[in-house]
Amino acid sequence: MSGFLSSSIARKVAMALSALFLIFFLIIHLAVNLTSLFSEEAFNQASHFMGTNPLIQFALQPILIFGVVFHFVMGFVLELKNRASRNVNYVKYNGAASASWMSRNMAISGGVILAFIVIHFLDFWIPELNTKYVVGDMSGYIEGTTNYRYYEELQHKFASPVKVGIYVVAFVLLALHLMHGFQSAFQSIGFNNKYTSCVKSLGKWYSILIPLGFIIIALFHHFNH
C-alpha cells in the first residue's frame, strides 16, 4: 500500500473512520427498521424513500458500500499482517488474562458479520437492485397493486425460524464486535481524554441496544406473522 495508508497508524485511523461511519449507518438502518414495529405505513414510506431517493441511492449508497468493503478488506489485511508479526507462537499464551475476548477476536466476529452481510446482499440487496434497475420497476408496489411491497417482504423474510436464528446469531456477534470496536475506534483516532469514560459507557449501551433492536424486530415479525 502506498502513500498515507502505508503506515500502521494511518491504516488504523482509516479502519476507525470507516467503523465510525458504519456505526452511524447502523443507527439510520435501525431507525428505519424500527418503524415496522409501530406502523406498516411509516415503514413503507421510509423504505421507499431510502430505496428511490437519488441522493441516497447514487451518492450515499456507494459510499456505504465502499465503507463496508474497505472495512472488511482493511481488517483482513491487518489481521494477516498482525499474524505475520509473530512467526513463532507461544506454547502457552494466556490472552484472557490481559484483554477481553471481544478485543482479541475481532476477526472472528467480523468474519461472521461478513458472512451475514453476504447473505443479506443475496437475500435483499441483489433482488432489490434487480427489481429497480434491471426490471425497471421503481414504483415500490406489490405487483399489480398500489400497495407498497416493503412491509410484506419484511414479514416474509422473518417467517423462517432458520433465517431468524442466523439473524440473531449474527447480531449477537455484531454486539460483541461493537463492544470492543466502538471505543477502539475513538482510541485509534486519538480520542482518549476525560470524556473517554463517557465514550466507553456510550459504546456499551450502543453495542447492546442497536443489535438488540434488530433482534427484537426479527423476533417480532417472526412471531406476529
Q: Is 12 in the site for other proteins (CB under 8 A)?
A: yes
Task: Provide the grid cell at 75.
Answer: 481488517
**109 φ, ψ (degrees, to nearest 5):** -65, -40
Q: Are 178 and 170 in contact (CB under 8 A)?
A: no
Q: Is 90 in the site for other proteins (CB under 8 A)?
A: yes
Q: Which stretch binds other proteins (CB under 8 A): 2-10, 43-51, 130-138, 159-167?
A: 2-10
Rounded Cα distance, 126 and 149, in Å: 16
Our CB check for other proteins shows the closer of 46 and 74 to be 74
Q: Does 81 participate in binding other proteins (rule CB under 8 A)?
A: yes
Q: 148 - beta bridge partners?
A: 141
Q: For other proteins, which stretch binds (CB under 8 A), given 7-15, 42-50, 53-61, 136-144? A: 7-15
Interface positions, 160-199, toward other proteins (CB under 8 A)? 180, 183-184, 187-193
**Among residues 89 and 224, whose Cβ is nearest to other proteins?**
89
Q: Is 94 in the site for other proteins (CB under 8 A)?
A: yes
Helices (H), 39-105: 40-52, 54, 61-84, 101-104
CA dist 118 and 162 (Å) reads 16
| Closer residue to other proteins (CB): 18 or 183 | 183
Residue 43 near residue 151 (C-beta atoms within 8 A): yes
Binding footprint of other proteins on the chain (CB under 8 A): 4, 6-13, 78, 81-82, 84-95, 97-100, 103-104, 106, 180, 183-184, 187-193
